[in-house]
Amino acid sequence: HSADALRTDFMTITRFVLNEQSKHPESRGDFTILLNHIVLGCKFVCSSVNKAGLAKLIGLAGETNVQGEEQKKLDVLSNEVFMKALISSGRTCILVSEEDEDAIFVEPSRRGRYCVVFDPLDGSSNIDCGVSIGTIFGIYTLKDTDEPTIEDVLQPGKNMVAAGYCMYGSSCTLVLSTGAGVNGFTLDPSLGEFILTHPDIKIPQKGMIYSVNEGNAKNWDGPTATYVDRCKFPEDGSSPKSLRYIGSMVADVHRTLLYGGIFLYPADKKNPDGKLRVLYEVFPMSFLMEQAGGQAFTGKQRALDLVPQKLHERSPIFLGSFDDVEEIKALYAAE
Ligand code: P6P
């Protein structure tokens, strides 16, 4: 009986968000409408990504399709899908995408009070080999929407009201925080609904996995090199950590969130700011980690305290289990 009860009483992301909204009587439902449009975008991209392999096989992707149109690259298509979904929500004012050099200012008649920063298809270079990829997003509210300027977007990550990612892999999993913990939802394709499958995710206090591109080791600074060395040759005789590195941020972060451990993309001599982008990679993932009981550090400060100066600026990032990140913080503090 209980299994049936569970199955028939499933919680969809729409109901979940409405429940959250009911906790804020003053809310006018704008946030719920915005999230529903983001969810719509994720469903569309999930469907396109899953067909990508097949499309390539039957000669659609990358070449001309049956109508003779140039098939769009998936990251370009995903960007257009999210742009359209966000603008048509009527709840956004400024949109920042990894795919667009400049911010998009929504025309006044369609303007709302939210700013969304997003990477529509992070890790898209991994599509052809079937590695999981994903959409990453963060949401800010804007103080004033009459004369929005780019400065309204250059806010520290701690000002975000929500952040999340959608991972397109063996299943389509959307992980979301609206500032009161982290919840994971899995798309049931037969219903076209995201069902709550990972309620109240908490990252283990300490993990046994480290996740970094060891190919950059030659160029790491002292604290990073020392930290990674200790992962492999612990001084206290404890077992070494396992290395797991997929090279797709959403997949590496999702594993870190569920299994614990640390994900790092450090600075190196060639890239003093590391590789990952602040607004739509570092901030959303750092927000989620803190909400799940972990932490996120740039090598200099708490990641969410960073105030970006440019839309697409990068930052080194160390995020994951609280105790693991604490160790790297101590090494940088002692530097
Ligand atoms: P590297 C993918 O291209 C990406 O932006 C992230 O998803 C991923 O974490 C990182 O770059 C991988 O970079 O230099 O290790 O290949």
Q: DSSP states of 213-269 as a string?
A: -GGGGGGB-HHHHHHHHHHHS-TTSPPPPEE---S-HHHHHHHHHHH--EEEE--BS
Cα-Cα-Cα-Cα dihedral of 37, 43, 47, 50, to 10°? 130
Dmax (CA) of the chain? 64
Q: How confident is the model at residue 184 (pLDDT cuts 50, 70, 90)?
A: very high
d(CA 246, CA 211): 8
Give residue 53's pLDDT: 65
The answer, yes or no, to whether residue 121 has pLDDT greater than 50, is yes
Q: How confident is the model at residue 62 (pLDDT cuts 50, 70, 90)?
A: low
Q: Which residue's alpha carbon is nearest to atom 12 within ligand 1?
A: 247
Q: Which residue's alpha carbon is nearest to atom 16 within ligand 1?
A: 247
CA-213 nearest atom, ligand 1: 15
Q: Which residue's alpha carbon is nearest to atom 10 within ligand 1?
A: 247
Give the mean pLDDT of 257-279.
97
The answer, yes or no, to whether residue 26 has pLDDT greater than 90, is no
Q: Separation of 123 CA from ligand 1 center, angstroms?
A: 6
Q: Separation of 246 CA from ligand 1 center, angstroms?
A: 9
The answer, yes or no, to whether residue 274 has pLDDT greater than 70, is yes
Strand order in the sheet with 193-198: 104-105, 92-97, 111-122, 133-141, 162-168, 172-177, 183-188, 193-198
Q: How confident is the model at residue 70 (pLDDT cuts 50, 70, 90)?
A: low
Does the ipTM surpass 0.95?
yes
Give residue-wise pLDDT tens across range 90-107: 999 999 999 999 999 999
CA-247 nearest atom, ligand 1: 12
From 75, 78, 122, 128, mutation site for ligand 1 pocket: most ligand atoms within 8 A of C-beta: 122
CA-252 nearest atom, ligand 1: 9
The answer, yes or no, to whether residue 16 has pLDDT greater than 50, is yes
The residues with which 172 forms a beta bridge, in sequence order, are: 168
Give residue-wise pLDDT tens across range 199-225: 999 999 999 999 999 999 999 999 999
Give residue 6's pLDDT: 47
Measured from CB, residues less than 6 Å from any atom of ligand 1 are 122-123, 125, 213, 247-249, 252, 275
Average pLDDT across the chain, whole number: 91
The answer, yes or no, to whether residue 59 has pLDDT greater than 50, is no
pTM: 0.94
Q: Separation of 92 CA from ligand 1 center, angstroms?
A: 29
Residue 38 tokens, joined? 């983001």
Give residue 11's pLDDT: 93
Q: Separation of 265 CA from ligand 1 center, angstroms?
A: 9
The answer, yes or no, to whether residue 171 has pLDDT greater than 80, is yes
Q: Are 136 and 124 in contact (CB under 8 A)?
A: no
Q: Separation of 200 CA from ligand 1 center, angstroms?
A: 28
d(CA 43, CA 166): 9
The answer, yes or no, to whether residue 119 has pLDDT greater than 60, is yes
From 214, 218, 250, 265, mutation site for ligand 1 pocket: most ligand atoms within 8 A of C-beta: 265
Q: Separation of 279 CA from ligand 1 center, angstroms?
A: 15
3-state DSSP assignment of residue 327: helix
d(CA 45, CA 50): 8
Q: Separation of 252 CA from ligand 1 center, angstroms?
A: 10
Give the mean pLDDT of 42-67.
68
The answer, yes or no, to whether residue 324 has pLDDT greater than 90, is yes
From 248, 286, 315, mutation site for ligand 1 pocket: most ligand atoms within 8 A of C-beta: 248
> 144 vs 206, which has greater pLDDT?
206
Lowest mean pLDDT among 44-48, 155-159, 241-245: 44-48
Q: How confident is the model at residue 9 (pLDDT cuts 50, 70, 90)?
A: low
Q: Separation of 290 CA from ligand 1 center, angstroms?
A: 22
The answer, yes or no, to whether residue 48 has pLDDT greater than 70, is yes
Give the mean pLDDT of 53-70.
52
Give the mean pLDDT of 275-290.
98
Sign of CA dihedral 89, 95, 100, 103: positive
